Structure 1
Amino acid sequence: MNDLTRIPCVLMRGGTSRGPFFIASDLPSDPVERDAALLSIMGSGHPLQIDGIGGGNPVTSKVAIIGPASIEGADVDYLFAQVRNDRQMVDYSPNCGNMLAAVGPFSIEAGLVPAQEGHTLVRIHNVNTGKLIVAKVPVKDGDVTYLGDASIDGVPGQAAPIALTFLDAAGAKTGKLLPTGHAVDVIDGVETTCIDCAIPMVLVRAGDLGITGYERADELSANADLMQRLGSIRVEAGRRMGMGDVSDMVIPKPVLISAAAKGGTLNVRYFMPHECHPSLATTGAVGIATATITPGTIAATLAGTLTLPARIGVEHPGGRLDVELETRNGVTVAGLLRTARRLFEGFAFAKPASQLNRAA
């Protein structure tokens, strides 16, 4: 194995996502070399990622890079990388709130944050967005507790609850909650809401694109006409939001919204962006919930009048995700419950950059 680079790695599930976690100092310091290592480790460029540990799907082709905090008020830095499974490309533009659920446990077990009996608060600086998120991690006898009676839709079984609190998530990428300056923009003849809270998104009423919004995720992903239309809207939304040409970026995320069918606040189909999410991204839930209390947005019109504090129930293909919204010192704070699990630890092996098949 002398021709392969061995890198310490922990595979973790965070929320409804899964991927390897690395200590930043264990990866190459040069960004180009780091990306090459991640592409090799994940096996990107093949739809099944057969030559790597990626799962052949956007929700299982994610990487978390953790290190000591670089800003005051945080305990750790968390850099998220969306490693494309269909192309040899690493995208650092978004945050991932599901992977975020595993950052606290990983940081404690890596010795970056001392464990506190009962619960340990881990203040996480998301490097991608510059935002702070606090994770409340259960600890027993000095060790992270993974077993419990909490459950989240989209993940089988039960686990210990991890509470995440997003502190002032608005303007995560563009610096503005409504980057276009409008609650509603007409794009390609369709009313949309371009919102940036936890992650940039473009919201569209499902009915305006000729579907119900209650279709299965795989059914929507296979709808070529719909995907082409959403792609066109997404690219124009990105331009209007000040992000330039987003063709090779995974943000903004297109989201189809419709009336709630099972007692929630509204129903959504969230795209990643080139296929429909089997459930819902945590960051997406925070942004969608915030849209329901932002006057004039299509989400607020659909949800009706809401006052804070409020619990926003966002229905998705895998069930429902509840977001608690409240105001602290004039700022909207979002809280939600996730779970995580440590899956295995050891070493990942990266091929030299010269051996990557860039044409794949």
Structure 2
Amino acid sequence: MLFTISTGSLQKQLQLLNGAVGANAVLPILNDFLFELNGAQLTISASDQETTMITEVEVMGTEDGTVAIPAKLLNDVLKSLPEQPITFSIDAYSYAIELRTQNGMYKIAGENPGSFPEMTAPEKSNTLTLNSDVLANATEKTLFAVGTDQLRPAMTGVFCNFDDTGATFVATDAHKLVKYEHYGQQFTTAIQFILPKKALTLLKNALPAKQTIVHLTYNKTNALFRFENIQLSCLLIEGRYPDYTVVIPKDNSNIVTINRTDLLASLKRSLIFSNKSTFEVVLSVSENELKINTQDLDFYTEAHESISCDYQGTAMDIAFNARFLVELLSSMDVADVLIELSVPHRAALILPAEQAENENLLMLIMPIMRYS
């Protein structure tokens, strides 16, 4: 096996795959990249058995072959080299790898690729197509809200629903919830499944900046994404997603309209002074003013700020985890937001003051109960 490629081009492809390499893998082969050369096309794969990602890149190839290369070692080598051509020469029997650059020669030990997991298309599957910008927006808006509690596996992924009204993506960790809906594309076959966070994170990083079509093939247990030179397969999360609609309040009649950037900056400052276990901030809302108060009794710190706003409703004090508020507001890209409140012990809604075309974004945050 013999081929030449630029270090920058190869490193760019490996950066997309790094997240798919098995962490603390039981099988040593999962710590490797799989390189397959067929003519001028080099196919590179990474897998942890549950998620597999493949990318293709053009090279100057002269001898076809397959080899597994330790991922960390190869990444370290490429990071240490400047932009230049690098030639890979692999012994077909011992899998010894020789790397040659303009001024150097390096040897590393490859591995037999025979036991590397093979990506297979889902059996008895269906296929739908998605615009890449829909997936990019959905992952940007929802991934941070995914839960980490392994006792509730359904909440460790993003719930996806496709039907004749459009696409809906939902993520929650029981403290905050995000629902992103897109109406620009309808789907003739209604389908629901839960995609794992790792696969969606890889997908988010790999999606191109320019608009492209993503082909999604799926069945009850697997999903396969294909676009441009990328393929990504993953196991779907089993189980029933919680009925998130029951926690979304319908009668939050107290409405704050406020500049998102001002509120976000104030919350970030308040975090510095908040209790480091609860991160509690108290929002005191009244006509034309929102006050943000926080304190840490253990370290005698406190902060008080006020921001002008438009408020329609009854004056109230309500406490939230400031870190959750910062996460929600940071994921938005609008000038003004609406905060819809009911009473201090019920969930609040955060919405864009103006929804984007063909989109509906809803964020929910649970309050911190105060007994003083």
Q: Scaled by the length of structure 1, what TM-score is found?
A: 0.24
The structure in which a higher percent of residues are strand is 2
Greater relative contact order (Cα 8 A, min sep 6): structure 1 or 2?
Answer: 1
Q: Scaled by the length of structure 2, what TM-score is found?
A: 0.23
